[in-house]
Amino acid sequence: MKFGVVVNEGPYTHQASDSAYNFTKAALAKGHEIVRVFFYHDGVNNGTRLTVPPSDDRNIQENWSALAKEHELDLVLCIAAAQRRGILDENEAKRQGKDADNVAEGFRISGLGQLIEAGIQADRLVTFGD
């Protein structure tokens, strides 16, 4: 089965991010395909490389990056939601006149069309968070 995954909540403030990660990992382990993971609203905070959790806590951003690398996942941050929260890739930082970028490895910024496309391509679109 093909799944699209939507993450609407940020890491460390809501269970949605952990649940989405665990669901994605389990689906892949069972041989299912993940069409795309789309991070929306506060969910885009999963994609900043500047997250520094305490050493005894899990690093959700690193978990997503490693999973994406291992399974060639498409991790997409909504551009509007990311910009509102100060999350920029190199191109957006230059375009907006900012001197830094902070998108983590394995993530990319794109528009809502990527969410629509995932919904069309997937058999099921699973949403985590409000």
**What domains are defined for the chain?**
2-128 (3.40.1260.10)
Write out the two tokens for 99.
């001197």
**pTM recorded for the entire structure:** 0.96
Query: Taking the CA of residue 75 as centre, how many other CA atoms within 13 Å lie in the half-sphere pointing to its CB?
Result: 29
- Mean pLDDT computed over 10-38: 97
CA nearest to 45, candidates 58, 60, 23: 60
CA nearest to 62, candidates 24, 95, 101, 106: 106
Portion of the chain with pLDDT greater than 70, in percent: 100
Contact 46, 60 (CB under 8 A): yes
Output the pLDDT for position 94.
96
- pLDDT bucket at 110, cuts 50 / 70 / 90: very high
Catalytic residues, which ones? 78
Beta strand segments in the chain, E: 2-7, 33-39, 75-78, 107-110, 124-128
pLDDT tens-digit series, residues 71-99? 999 999 999 999 999 999 999 999 999 99
